Amino acid sequence: MSKQHTISQAAADFLEEEHRALVGGRWMTGHGGDPQPLIDPSTGNSIARIAPASIEQADAAVEAARVAFHDRRWSGQTPAQKQRTLLRVAELIERDAQTLAELETLNGGKLYAAALRGEVAHAAETFRYYAGWCTKLPGATFEPSVPGQRFHGLIRHEPLGVAAQIVPWNGPLVMACWKLAPALAAGCSCVLKPAELTPLTALYLGRLLLEAGVPEGVVSILPGPGGKLGQRLARHPQVNKVAFTGSTEVGKQLLADARGNLKRLSLELGGKSPVLIFNDANLPRAIAGAADAIFSNAGQVCVAGSRVYAQAGVYQEVLDGLADAAGRLKLGPGLNPDSQMGPLISASHRESVRALVESGIREGAQLVTGGEPVSGDGFFYSPTVFTGAGEDMRITREEVFGPVVTVTPFETANDAIRQANRSRYGLAASVWTRDLARGHQVAESLESGIVWINSHGIPELSMPIGGYKQSGWGREHGLEGLKTYMETKSIMARLD
């Protein structure tokens, strides 16, 4: 057995500190209630305590963001200055990558190597990518057709003001960066609310933003509960936009909360993503890809491939292959380099996974492997494969957000597309085939914000991602993601 990774002194020191909210450029003890423990989900033990920010602190953060936006301390900087600062943020994330990855592992239950090489590296790349847009954002010019008069017409993109950003616990650092980097590149001021279970890396990022030279007041970071703080931000009359990643249920609630001042709203919500494996697929790759699509981060991934559809000729092999992969996965804490799958985030989340699996069994699906919580420390759940799950069963329809996959046969491409599209969600999908023409044809027919052909779950900053149907509104990443933080203004200048 390899030696357990020992956390650095820097991470140990950070955990020991008092964890405070960043409110308008000042670090303040949260006034929203008693300090709450933060839990290592691989042991169930407390690793730190944090007091939630109060409603008054949320209001102060919004006010500071509004003032900062209007005095243009950030939005008025030249594109080159903003670019330099955001590039510096990327460098600082890389400088402190080990500490960030350790905190992400301890608080979020991730595998350390994946956190370091995957999430933290990608977080830095996100700032680098959007830094580049600062100096490259295009507008447009037109020659208007006004009879008898000459005009120059130009279209500009302007930052829309104060953005409230609410993120979940399954990718605490990377999701904070997916929100903050485009908003800052656009010139907005931000109030970020991390998930109550996993605020540490977002708070650490707050330090790095200040160190990089993001002016005080431009970014506030408020740890605390969604129902109070998140709702306050969503209802706040001085907030111009809410950018939310989380469950479809809370996303729907935000529609009502954001209505008061008709805030812009972007929603990255849940998924039940299909994986379509055709007879001619490179089977070892497809099976390994499908296993990774559902078991990485213990299935707590918005694009998790939770419904596998395998063509009749390879169905049994796919089912056996996935069950075999599930059975061989080594579960354990993320700091142990031998671990291949970490825990679920909390006891209550594990209970909701358990209940959904029970419903599958009760409704008549057949359990091939897994299907139970792992006894002992932490919130581990065994990798689970179902077959015979009917189209209307909860296990086929509802997002489990755990390491649970259904495997279902199909005959024709049309049959596969019909089953794949029979979902209220439409976030992601993958198609596995050696026939690229078919891959593209099927991709076009899937009701899904992103489709991978012969891969699954690869993040790409230049490609927009987001949901069809009830998986969301708007897109993150790419120029499209940046423009969700901007208003478009047309200017017509008369020349004669």
Binding site for ligand NAD (CB under 6 A): 166-170, 193, 195-196, 225-227, 230-231, 234, 245-247, 250, 253, 268-271, 302, 399, 401, 427, 467, 472
Q: Which is nearer to ligand NAD, 119 or 268 (CB)?
A: 268
Work out whether strand 274-277 and strand 307-311 pair parallel, antiparallel, or are unpaired: parallel
Task: Name the minimum Å distance from CB 100 to ligand NAD.
Answer: 18
Compute the least distance from the CB of residue 245 to ligand NAD, in Å: 5
Distance CA 185, CA 126 (A): 11
Strand-strand pairing, 45-50 and 472-473: unpaired
Tokens linked to 240:
């111009």
Nearer to ligand NAD, 73 or 228 (CB): 228
The H or E element that residue 97 is part of is helix 97-108
CA 345 to chain centre: 15
Strands 151-159 and 486-494: antiparallel
**In terms of CB distance, is 125 or 196 closer to ligand NAD?**
196
For ligand NAD, the closer CB: 71 or 249: 249
Contacts of 288 (CB under 8 A, 6+ apart): 325
Residues annotated catalytic, as ranges: 268, 302
CA 239 to chain CA mean position, Å: 22
Q: How far apart are CA 212 and CA 86, in angstroms?
A: 8
Query: Minimum distance from CB of 228 to ligand NAD (Å)?
Result: 8
Q: Which two tokens stand for residue 349?
A: 């989340």
Closer by beta carbon to ligand NAD, 348 or else 412: 348
**12 sits in which H/E element:** helix 9-16
What is the DSSP pairing of strand 404-410 with strand 384-387? parallel
State the nearest-atom distance from the C-beta of 205 to ligand NAD, in Å. Answer: 15
Shortest distance, position 39 Cβ to ligand NAD, whole Å: 14
Report the SS3 class of residue 47. strand
Using CB atoms, what's the residue nearest to ligand NAD? 226
Q: Which is nearer to ligand NAD, 253 or 445 (CB)?
A: 253
27: its two tokens: 């670090």
Q: Is there a contact between 481 and 473 (Cβ–Cβ < 8 Å)?
A: no
Query: Is residue 165 within a helix (H) or strand (E), and if so which, with residue range?
Result: strand 162-166
Q: How far is the CB of 198 from ligand NAD (least distance, A)?
A: 9
